[in-house]
Amino acid sequence: MTEIIEFNNNISVDACLNKIIYGDCLEIMRTLPDKCVDVVITSPPYNLLKSSGNGLKKNTKCGKWKNAAIKNGYAEYDDNMPYVDYIAWQRECVAEMCRLIKDDGAVFYNNKNRVQNGLLEDRGEIVKGFPLRQIIIWKRSGAINFNAGYFLPITEQIYLLCNKAFKLAQGANKNTDVWEVKQEMKNPHPAPFPE
Ligand SMILES: C[S@@+](CC[C@H](N)C(=O)[O-])C[C@H]1O[C@@H](n2cnc3c(N)ncnc32)[C@H](O)[C@@H]1O
């Protein structure tokens, strides 16, 4: 099992290797030097508890959402920010990730478009101006956010942000930009990545 260590301000890159550092990602990233990371793979909170509709509401039965663990937010984070603050926060995170990757490094930043007040909230806003090379579509096996106003969204975006020298491993380019990966089901975390 991977060792988990609490964040402290004197943490070095070497101390981070093969460990899970428990703390605020921005605070941690800011202590690390430029170009020290090969790859960032991340899925931030999607601000789901900030909802214009009657979908997710914390600690309620949420009608059709009643089995969705995500409605409770995360243990120490309630996923409910004003839209403008959420975008600004995520842009700060992406800026740090891009600073940390090496010249041939890459960031795989996963997020999900949403419809709020009847209009698309396009997460492309978060990565605008950063070195975006590709948008990979993550096709999941299903979803629960049924709405009479739009087709059931079962895709998410994985933004591939990278420096010029980034190349895929040999042969990897035979894979397409649509990744069909089932979501993890048997896990107490509300939004786990499958292994
Ligand atoms: C959408 S989930 C993604 C989980 C991911 N798919 C996985 O398997 O680890 C977002 C995660 O970000 C965590 N989180 C929220 N705010 C954070 C912060 N400031 N720094 C680091 N992690 C944070 C939440 O607790 C939650 O576990």
pLDDT in tens, 1-27: 889 999 888 888 888 889 999 999 999
Ligand 1 and 29: CB distance under 6 A: no
The pTM of this model reads 0.90
Q: How far is the CA of 44 from the centre of ligand 1 (A)?
A: 5
Asked whether 32 lines ligand 1 (CB < 6 A), one says no
Please determine, for residue 75, whether its predicted confidence score (pLDDT) is greater than 80. no
SS (H, E, C) the chain: CCEEEECCCCCCHHHHCCEEEECCHHHHHHCCCCCCEEEEEECCCCCCCCCCCCCCCCCCCCHHHCCCHHHHCECCECCCCCHHHHHHHHHHHHHHHHHHEEEEEEEEEEECCEEECCEEECCHHHHCCCCEEEEEEEECCCCCCCECCECCCCEEEEEEEECCCCCCCCCHHHCCCEEECCCCCCCCCCCCCCC
> Best mutation site among 74, 85, 90, 114 for ligand 1, i.e. most ligand atoms within 8 A of its Cβ?
74
pLDDT tens column, 140-189: 988 888 999 999 999 999 999 999 999 999 999 999 999 999 888 888 88
What is the percent of the chain where pLDDT is above 70?
89
Domains of the chain in start order, with CATH, are: 1-32 (no CATH), 34-180 (3.40.50.150)
